[in-house]
Structure 1
Amino acid sequence: MNEWQQVLFTDECRVLLKQIDGRQRIWRRKGERHIQSNFEHTVAYGGGSIMVWGGICLGARTELVIVTGGTMTADRYIRDILEEHVVPFAPFIGDDFILMQDNARAHSAQSVQAYLSHVGIPVMQWPANSPDMNPIEHVWDLLKRRVKSRMPPPNNLNELGNALLEKWERLPQEIIDNIICSMPRRMETVIRARGGNTRY
């Protein structure tokens, strides 16, 4: 844990306005299969979505960033995330700070690697397609559940953004720390699975 407490785990997450949970089972009588009352109106593509970025470490978290205006490019990642949030956050962790980011195209771009090298931020090597190893995935799940249970639920993207910011600030740090403390167990599980799927 002395080593894991030096890591800032980061990632982006997309949150749908209207979360579609899949099939819903209903009881109906014979011959009522296509009656209108047996159908639920859905909103195409969840009624819109918001992309957010955040980072977690033992004892703290970054601000939640709402990514607006299109996809995350390498230039935007440097300007809006690394310069504004990661570099100022690094002194909180200390001289042994390590950034964990996945292998998304915006993260692995040469310009991003050059920028991180220039500012002296080491990046943890991360295997592709390994969300089960990143503890922030559990934090995203927790955040989505808390926003979904909020009353009244968000009705538009502006309300969704405000709800995400509010619930991010209110997430208990103890829960985040407990999730990060699972890293040694996660690594043991991955080794036993020889890199295969795990329960995480």
Structure 2
Amino acid sequence: MDQRYVWRRKNKAYEEKNTLPTVKHGGGSIMLWGCFASAGTGKLQRVQGTMNSLQYQEILDDNVMQSVTNLRLGRRWTFQQDNDPKHTSKSTKAWLQIKDWNILEWPSQSPDLNPIENLWWDLKKAVAVRKPKNVTELEAFAHDEWAKIPVDRCKTLVSSYASCLKAVITVKGCCTKARVRRKQF
């Protein structure tokens, strides 16, 4: 069974600000791939179907270097991804080795350390406010809102990342105030 966790204050589960309704009367949801740096948000792409290693590599090929260029990162950037199987497959590892990108090693069993999760939460809230009526609107609103994420938000997530990792190491993987604070709600 899939376990999911949410952060909220006690006895506040059903307040409107703590719930995100699904797209109604047309239904559906979309999966997105996105990237960001301290300079701002990079490209955002809709994932068609179920992503596998080859599709992941195509998405990276189509988006990462263009985002690096658009954000004017030069050679001073590090690629970070979690340990999802499509990210760590033999073919993806070989593909990344050919690209010769500087890659941040990712600790196992730590999906909530990924700073982009904070941006996904911001994006979900912003899109929900616009109340998309169908999947087409949902995707359009997602792209609009992604572009509006402030550079300062991205800078904060990147600059707080090292202290967050140190805090997790200090408590040997248990919950930290830093991890809770980053889940801003």
Asked if the contact 1:132/1:198 (under 8 Å) is kept, the reply is no
Bigger relative contact order, structure 1 or 2, given CA contacts below 8 A and separation 6+?
2
Q: 1:57 aligns with which of 37, 61, 65?
A: 37
Q: Give the AA of the match of 2:94.
A: A
The residue that corresponds to 1:126 in the other structure is 106
Answer yes or no: is 1:85 the counterpart of 2:63: yes
- Tell me, which stretches of 5 or more residues in structure 1 are unaligned? 1-22, 26-41
Aligned mates of 1:116, 1:43 — CA distance in 2: 36
Answer yes or no: is 1:186 the counterpart of 2:158: no
Shift in alpha-carbon separation, 1:195–1:24, aligned structure 2, 3 A: closer
Q: Which deviations, in whole Å up to 9, do the C-alpha atoms of 1:38-61 show, x marking residues without a partner?
A: xxxx989x9321000111111132
The residue that corresponds to 2:183 in the other structure is none
Asked if the contact 1:116/1:122 (under 8 Å) is kept, the reply is no
1:133, distance to aligned residue in structure 2 (A): 1.6
The residue that corresponds to 2:124 in the other structure is 144
The residue that corresponds to 2:96 in the other structure is 116
Percent of aligned pairs with the same amino acid? 33
The residue that corresponds to 1:76 in the other structure is 55
Asked if the contact 2:23/2:134 (under 8 Å) is kept, the reply is no
Shift in alpha-carbon separation, 1:196–1:135, aligned structure 2, 3 A: same
The residue that corresponds to 2:176 in the other structure is 198
Asked if the contact 1:48/1:157 (under 8 Å) is kept, the reply is yes
TM-score, reference length from structure 1: 0.71
- Tell me, which stretches of 5 or more residues in structure 2 are unaligned? 1-12, 16-21, 180-185
Q: 1:177 aligns with which of 141, 155, 159?
A: 155
SS of the residue 1:52 aligns to: strand
**Aligned residue-pair number:** 158
User: Which one has the bigger strand percentage?
Assistant: 1
User: Which one has the bigger helix percentage?
Assistant: 2
Shift in alpha-carbon separation, 1:176–1:112, aligned structure 2, 3 A: same
Query: RMSD of the alignment, in Å?
Result: 2.5
Shift in alpha-carbon separation, 1:170–1:96, aligned structure 2, 3 A: closer
Give the structure with higher Rg (CA): 1
1:141, distance to aligned residue in structure 2 (A): 0.6
SS of the residue 1:100 aligns to: coil
TM-score, reference length from structure 2: 0.76
The residue that corresponds to 2:4 in the other structure is none
SS of the residue 2:35 aligns to: strand
